[in-house]
Chains A and B, each alone.
Chain A
C-alpha cells in the first residue's frame, strides 16, 4: 500500500534559484544585465550590432547569444569588437540560468559594464525563465502586427522596455505605433517605448540614453 506525501514544490525552482545567484553576482560586480526577447527576425542582433559599435568607447559590453535563427549571430556581434559567446540551447525554445552560468565562465567579466543576452527568437517561452537580469527588453518589428502585445501578454507585461523596430518600413505596412504602444501600456503602465530603425540608426539615441541611465542606476545601487 502506498503512502501519499504532500510536498508542493515549484517545478521552476532550480532555475529560480540559479537566477537569484546570478542576480547577486551582477549586483556585486555592478553589471547591468539585459535579457532581449522577440520573435525570430525582429532585429535583436541588428540592435546589438548598432549598440555595441556606437557605445564602444563608453562601456565595456559583452553578448551571450542564444538565438539560433542564424548560426552567425555571435560572429556578427563579435565583428564590432565586443566579446560574444554562443550558447547551445540544443534546439530549445528559451535560455535558462544554467546556460548563462556556463557562458559567464568563458567571458572576461572584469570591469564589465553591460551584459546583453540575446534570447531565442520566441514570444512565449523565454518570458518564463528568469536569467538574473535587471531588465527584460522586448523588440517588436512593424512587419509583425501591432496586436502582438495583446497576443503575448506575459512578455510585454514583464518588459521594462519595448523597442518598435524597422520604422523605416512603416509606409509599407499596416502597423500603428499608437495601437502597439497602447496595448503594451495597458499590460504594463511603466513600460518605456522607443520606435527605432536599426537599419538607419533612427531613434537609437533615446535607447542609448535609457541604457546610460539604467547603467548609472545599477552602479549606484
Chain B
C-alpha cells in the first residue's frame, strides 16, 4: 500500500498551511479517510508515527475520522450503506453492481490545531 507517500503529501500540505497561517507549533491534525480511499487508517497512523518522529512536526497528534461508504443503487436508486465494499447487494432490489458512490472516496485534511501568535495571520473558519 501507499500510505507512506500519502503521509508525505499530507506533511507538505501541513507545512504550507503552517506558513500561510503563521502557526507557531502544531498540536493536532485531523484527516477524514473514506472507506474506499484505498488508504487503511491503521497504516496511515503508523506511517504518521514513522514520519513525525523527528523534525518540525515531531509529536503532532493525528486524528483520523473514518467516513463510511454510502452508495445509491444503480438499478432502483435507493441510497444505502453497504457493509462490505467488495459485495454490495441493494437492500431494496438486490442489485450488486453499478452503484454510485456518494461517500467513501474522500481522503482530506479537515483541520489543524496550532498555537498562532496574536500577530499571526488571522485564521479562517475558526
Contacts and interface: CB of A to CB of B under 8 A. Distances in A.
Dominant secondary structure at the B interface: mixed
A12 B126 contact: no
Contacts, number: 98
A93 B17 contact: no
Dominant secondary structure at the A interface: mixed
A7 B111 contact: yes
B28 interface: yes
B54 to A, nearest CB: 21
| Interface range for A | 20 to 34
Interface residues of B, number: 37
Contact of A151 (B1, B27, B86): B86
Contacts of A127: 38
Interface of B: 1-2, 5-6, 9-10, 12-13, 17, 21, 23, 27-28, 31, 36-38, 86-87, 96-98, 106-116, 123-126
20 contacts: A2-B27, A2-B28, A2-B115, A3-B123, A3-B126, A5-B111, A5-B116, A5-B123, A6-B126, A7-B13, A7-B111, A9-B109, A10-B106, A10-B107, A11-B31, A11-B109, A94-B2, A96-B5, A125-B2, A187-B97
